[in-house]
A and B are shown apart, each in its own frame.
Chain A
Amino acid sequence: MHPVTPPTAGSPAGPSFRTLAAPRRRILRGVVAAVVAAPLMFGAAACGDDGAAPGDGKVTLSIFWWGGEGRAKLTEDALALYTKKNPNVTFEKTFQANQGYFDKLATLTAGGNPPDIFQIDDNYLAEYAGRSTVLDLTSYKDSGKLDVSKFPKSLLEYGIVDGKLAGVAAGENTQGLVYNKTLLTKHGLPEPTTGMSWEEHIAWAEQVTKKTKVPGTQDPSADYKALWVWLRQQGKDLYKGKDLGFDEADVTRWFELWKGARDRGATPTPDVIHEGNSSDITKQLVVTGKSATSWVWVNQMPDLKKNTSDDLGVVAYPGDPSAQWARASMYWSVFKGSKNRDAAVDVINFLANDPEAVALLGTDRGLPSNMDLRAKVSETVTDPAMKQSIAVETELAATFGPSPQVPIKGHSKVKSELVKAAENAQYGRATPAEAAKQFLAACKSAIA
Chain B
Amino acid sequence: MVAVTSTARRQGVRRPGGRQALRLVVLVVIVAVVLYPLLWMVGTSVKSQQEIVSNIGLLPQRFTPGNYTEGWSNFDLSFGRFFLNSAMVSLLTVVGNAVSCLLAAYAFARLRFRLRGIWFAVMIGTLLLPGHVLIVPQYILFRSLGLVGGDWPYLPLLIPQFLATEAFFVFLMVQFMRGIPRELDEAAKIDGASPYGTFRHVILPLSRPALVTTAIFSFIWTWNDFFRQLVFLSNLEDYTVPVALTLFIDSTGQSAVGPMFAMSVLSLLPVFLFFLAFQRMLVEGINTSGLKG
Q: Which residues of A contact B (CB under 8 A)?
A: 35-39, 42-43, 64, 66-73, 92-100, 103-104, 106-108, 110-113, 278-282, 287-289, 300, 303, 306-309
Contacts and interface: CB of A to CB of B under 8 A. Distances in A.
B75 interface: yes
Interface string B190-230: 00000000000000000000000000000000000011001
B250 interface: yes
A107 B231 contact: yes
Given A42-B144, A111-B140, A308-B50, A68 B231 contact: no
Contacts of B252: 98, 279, 281, 300
Interface string B213-255: 0000000000000110011001110000001001111111111
Contacts of B231: 103-104, 107
Contact of A107 (B135, B146, B249): B135
Nearest to B246: A97
28 contacts: A35-B141, A38-B145, A43-B143, A43-B146, A64-B234, A68-B250, A68-B253, A69-B74, A92-B234, A96-B246, A97-B247, A99-B246, A99-B249, A103-B231, A104-B230, A110-B136, A110-B140, A111-B143, A111-B148, A112-B140, A113-B149, A279-B251, A279-B252, A281-B252, A282-B52, A303-B253, A306-B50, A308-B50
Given A71-B250, A94-B236, A280-B251, 8 more contacts: A35-B144, A97-B251, A107-B135, A112-B140, A280-B255, A281-B251, A306-B50, A307-B49
* Cβ-closest 3 pairs across A and B: A38-B144, A97-B246, A68-B254
B254 A282 contact: no
A270 B76 CA distance: 42
A103 B250 contact: no
B54 interface: yes
Contact of B146 (A37, A42, A68, A73): A42
Contacts of A287: 53-54
A39 B246 contact: no
Contacts of B135: 107
Contacts of A96: 230, 243, 246-247
What band does the interface of chain B fall in when counting residues whose beta carbon is under 8 Å from A?
A: 35 or more
B257 interface: yes
A70 B136 contact: no
B249 A97 contact: yes
A306 B49 contact: yes
B251 A103 contact: no
A303 B255 contact: yes
A100 B230 contact: yes
Contacts of A95: 236, 247
Contacts of A36: 144
A281 B255 contact: yes
Given A39-B144, A100-B227, A308-B50, A94 B254 contact: no
B253 A103 contact: no
B50 A94 contact: no
A391 B172 CA distance: 63
Contacts of A112: 140, 143
Contacts of A68: 247-250, 253-256
Given A103-B231, A107-B135, A282 B257 contact: yes
B162 interface: no
A176 B127 CA distance: 48
Interface string B126-160: 00000000011101110111101100000000000
> Which of B75, B227, B252 has the most A CB atoms < 10 Å from its CB?
B252
B146 A98 contact: no
A303 B254 contact: yes
Contacts of A66: 250
A282 B255 contact: yes
B54 A98 contact: no
A289 to B, nearest CB: 6
B143 A113 contact: yes
A419 B246 CA distance: 25
B235 A94 contact: yes
Residue with the highest number of chain A CB atoms closer than 10 Å, among B52, B234, B243, B246: B234
Contacts of B227: 100, 103
Contacts of B139: 107-108, 110-111
B173 to A, nearest CB: 30
A172 to B, nearest CB: 15
Contacts of A67: 250, 253-254
Contacts of B74: 69
B57 to A, nearest CB: 14
A43 B255 CA distance: 37
Which residue, of A38, A281, A289, A300, has the highest number of chain B Cβ atoms within 10 A?
Answer: A281
Interface string B164-205: 000000000000000000000000000000000000000000
A108 B254 CA distance: 26
A69 B230 contact: no
Given A66-B250, A280-B251, A94 B136 contact: no
A70 B254 contact: yes
Contacts of B255: 68, 280-282, 303, 307
Among B53, B54, B137, find the residue whose CB has the most chain A CB atoms closer than 10 A: B53
B248 to A, nearest CB: 7
